[in-house]
Structure 1
Amino acid sequence: MAAPETSAVTPPTPIQVALHGQCPRCGAKTLFAGITNFADRCAVCDLDIGAFNVGDGPAAFLTLIIGTIVMIGAVTLTLTIAPPIWVHLLLWTPLTAIGIIGALRLSKGALISLEYRNAAHEGQLKKPKP
């Protein structure tokens, strides 16, 4: 008689979750319902994704980081070839939007994976009374 097979699923790494939009529990590609919006639940393992809170931290940090990179590029371009303002608008506006949205999806996916992996929850100053 053969031993029954166990279906132990190895959870994906935070990088896999971020790059592929995988569920942090089962690995199904069900994390996102939109470009940067999370699904309410995983359709495969029923993980309550809505219970996780990544907040606005990733958006604020990415705006500052990508904004700094874009400003360095814009100042460098201005000082080297001095193009008209419309060139800056056509070049930097879409690059900024694409950079922030793309990086936001990656950072939110990685953050939710780390929250799941580390069983993170909201901090408390006092222990609740039984």
Structure 2
Amino acid sequence: MNGSYLPDEIAHDDERYEMIRRLLSRTYEEELPLADAMAATFAQETGLPPYQYTTDTVTKVGTSGYVYARNLLATRVFRCPVIYFEPYVMNSTEGLARIEAGDYDGTREFDGVQRKSIFREYAQAVADGLAEYCRMVRAVK
């Protein structure tokens, strides 16, 4: 999600303008509940714990423990809710093995655990998260 601007970044006119435009657009009101709902489905689907950043360039937001505000170009300039999913750590041995295995039906064993294709896992988490968010929004109205 958009946020976590550092002093050096808001010194730039273009970044400051996009930050203010984004705040005034109130996209955050939809983006955060959507991100929290989708994070919950990713956590359930992948079984992964929340990533713990070791830098001060991000800010944890929401209630799930999985959602962070970051100052990324797309989160500033796209005029709609923007949510990035980065559930797998790049240097994870298991993650790499699952990517190298490609797409497959059913499950295969990785580090002693039966896992579906990483691509299907990711796609299912996105679909389930969007569906859950839509159900939640419709129930409120």
TM-score (norm: length of structure 1): 0.31
Identify the structure with the greater strand proportion: 2
Query: Which structure's CA Rg is the greater one?
Result: 1
TM-score (norm: length of structure 2): 0.29
